[in-house]
């Protein structure tokens, strides 16, 4: 199914996917913060029900790209964008797309756990309550399902009414994942989800990511290359706002096609 293709041999090496297997399609996407360019003419396809990792040095634009995927840049008045991002073939910037609806379909988990100052239950039910129209019984079921999916249920089932802030950092991050799962997204964006966590919590989150791809498309931003190698199926290497190489993770880490990629993954480029 994946087709290797030298899209622009002069600048990079990219893998491509058939449209039917594509969840997110980024086409000629560029972004500036005021006059400062951050992303430049990116084109790539993110496969459905796979884990795709964005790696690259700090400031390469990988988080910026991730945040563009659910339009979190809308809040920042300075940001200017060009090009297209398509979710299941539909442009996410089209005027008929409601941004709240888009964000429900494309969920996001941030670097630092950000549970709301409410009970564990209320955190998970937050998105459900926004939509409304659910019976309490149904809501309880979804909350339990989401917490089970995030591998947190057994740890919190006896204290759902306790403050979410009483959980440990790793538990908080899994709670945030559960909260995002509860709204039923198709795509889950993860912005360095384990960088604030201890090694054991990190392992739990990584295992969770591997389990979730059965039902979700996952996009992971990380600057931990071992992590990218452990959990992702495909890896995109970004540098200075440009896509350098995009390949199956095994290939990219064992046999990169470009010298720039090799320099980065072997640690010769910060």
Residues that bind another protein (CB under 8 A): 70, 72, 75, 77, 100-101, 103-104, 107-108, 110-119, 126-127, 130-131, 163-166, 169, 176, 179-180, 183, 196
Choose between 38 and 102: whose C-beta lies nearer to another protein.
102
Choose between 33 and 110: whose C-beta lies nearer to another protein.
110
Smallest gap from residue 16 Cβ to another protein (A): 29
Smallest gap from residue 238 Cβ to another protein (A): 21
Choose between 66 and 244: whose C-beta lies nearer to another protein.
66
User: What H or E segment, with its residue span, contains residue 14?
Assistant: strand 13-16
Smallest gap from residue 266 Cβ to another protein (A): 32
Smallest gap from residue 182 Cβ to another protein (A): 9
Do residues 42 and 249 make contact, with C-beta atoms less than 8 angstroms apart?
no
d(C-alpha 112, C-alpha 63), whole Å: 14
| Short-list 129, 118, 117, 114, CA closest to 183 | 129
How crowded is the C-beta side of 15, counted as CA atoms within 13 Å? 22
Choose between 38 and 247: whose C-beta lies nearer to another protein.
38
Do residues 143 and 126 make contact, with C-beta atoms less than 8 angstroms apart?
no
Smallest gap from residue 103 Cβ to another protein (A): 5
Smallest gap from residue 195 Cβ to another protein (A): 11
Choose between 27 and 93: whose C-beta lies nearer to another protein.
93
Q: Is the sign of the CA dihedral 49, 67, 228, 14 positive or negative?
A: positive
Long-range contacts of 72-75 (CB under 8 A, 24+ apart): 72/108, 73/31, 74/99
Strand partners, 52: 219, 234
Smallest gap from residue 104 Cβ to another protein (A): 4
Do residues 81 and 31 make contact, with C-beta atoms less than 8 angstroms apart?
yes
Choose between 4 and 100: whose C-beta lies nearer to another protein.
100
d(C-alpha 55, C-alpha 235), whole Å: 7
DSSP string, 174-233: HHHHHHHHHT--SEEEEESTTTTS-HHHHHHHHHHHHHHTTT-EEEEE-S-HHHHHHH-S
Would you state the structure tokens that stand for residue 18, as one six-digit string?
């058939």
Choose between 166 and 254: whose C-beta lies nearer to another protein.
166
Smallest gap from residue 225 Cβ to another protein (A): 24
Choose between 9 and 95: whose C-beta lies nearer to another protein.
95
């Amino acid at each position: 199914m994946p087709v290797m293709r030298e899209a622009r041999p002069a600048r990079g090496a990219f893998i491509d996917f058939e449209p039917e297997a594509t969840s997110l399609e980024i086409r000629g996407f560029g972004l500036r913060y005021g006059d400062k360019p951050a992303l430049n003419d990116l084109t790539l396809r993110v496969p459905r029900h796979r884990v795709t990792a964005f790696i690259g040095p700090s400031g390469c634009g990988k988080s910026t790209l991730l945040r563009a995927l659910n339009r979190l840049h809308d809040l920042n008045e300075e940001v200017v964008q060009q090009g297209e991002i398509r979710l299941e073939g539909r442009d996410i910037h089209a005027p008929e797309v409601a941004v709240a609806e888009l964000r429900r379909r494309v969920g996001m988990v941030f670097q630092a756990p950000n549970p709301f100052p409410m009970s564990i239950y209320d955190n998970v039910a937050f998105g459900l309550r926004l939509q409304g129209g659910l019976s309490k019984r149904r809501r309880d079921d979804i909350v339990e399902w989401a917490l089970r999916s995030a591998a947190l249920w057994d740890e919190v089932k006896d204290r759902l009414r306790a403050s979410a802030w009483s959980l440990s950092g790793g538990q908080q991050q899994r709670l945030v994942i559960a909260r995002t799962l509860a709204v039923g997204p198709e795509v889950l964006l993860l912005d360095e989800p384990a960088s604030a966590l201890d090694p054991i919590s990190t392992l739990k989150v990584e295992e969770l990511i591997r389990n979730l791809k059965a039902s979700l498309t996952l996009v992971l931003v990380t600057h931990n290359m071992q992590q990218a190698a452990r959990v992702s199926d495909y890896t995109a290497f970004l540098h200075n706002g440009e896509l350098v190489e995009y390949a199956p993770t095994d290939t990219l880490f064992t046999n990169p096609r470009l010298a720039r990629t090799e320099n980065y993954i072997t640690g010769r480029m910060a």
